[in-house]
Amino acid sequence: MTLSQCPNIAEVTLRDNQPNVACTEHREWAIEYILDLRPTVVILSHSVFAALADEDADREAAWRDGLTTIVQRVQASGAEVVILGAPPGSANLQSCATTVSNPTDCVQGPAEWFTNQRIIEHQVAVATGAKAIDPEAWFCLDLRCPSFIGTSPVYGDGVHLTAAYSTRIGPDVVAAILAA
């Protein structure tokens, strides 16, 4: 029930510098569907700390309030809500891995937005009774996030997970959701 570049916040965001109307419409459809379906658990996750259509808004407050609204609306279905944090990002394998590079060229810290988004998700979870899962341990050690772990490429482009790494961490993600 996802849509590209459509975060779980009750705010209008931008896509290609235009209000993302498709996201707003999709989000409303998805919430209505959840309310009708009445699932046991709903997992909310997004990886875009997108720009807001209201340029004057306090971005962090808008994200916190907007995610709180969405969590509460979903909770009205009776579902337990789990907020699954987004991967922290890393170097782009398409540019960091070259014939003359070394492994450290494909290691960087979490993306700029990662810490703020993680803090907001935790605050919302505490305020609403939702569960928050911090994914950092699956991707980073001591704030160093490699693009390869073992023989598995983590990201194909610094943002999107590869199928190989998704499969590798899948059991850990499921265990974290079930424990939440």
Query: What is the CATH number for 73?
Result: 3.40.50.1110
Digitized pLDDT (tens) for each residue of the chain, 180 residues in all: 999 889 999 999 999 999 999 999 999 999 999 999 999 999 999 986 678 888 888 989 999 999 999 999 999 999 999 999 999 988 888 888 888 888 888 899 898 889 999 999 999 999 999 999 999 999 999 999 999 888 889 988 878 899 999 999 999 999 999 997
Do the domain assignments include residue 38? yes
pTM: 0.91
Do the domain assignments include residue 3? no
Collapsed DSSP state (helix, strand, coil) of residue 90: coil
Would you state the pLDDT for residue 93?
84
What domain range is 27 assigned to? 14-179
Do the domain assignments include residue 4? no
21, containing H or E segment: helix 21-37
The helix, strand and coil proportions of the chain, stated in percent and rounded to the nearest 5, come to 45, 15, 40
Number of domains composing the chain: 1
Do the domain assignments include residue 1? no
- CA distances 72 to 54, 55, 98, 142, Å, are 22, 25, 47, 34
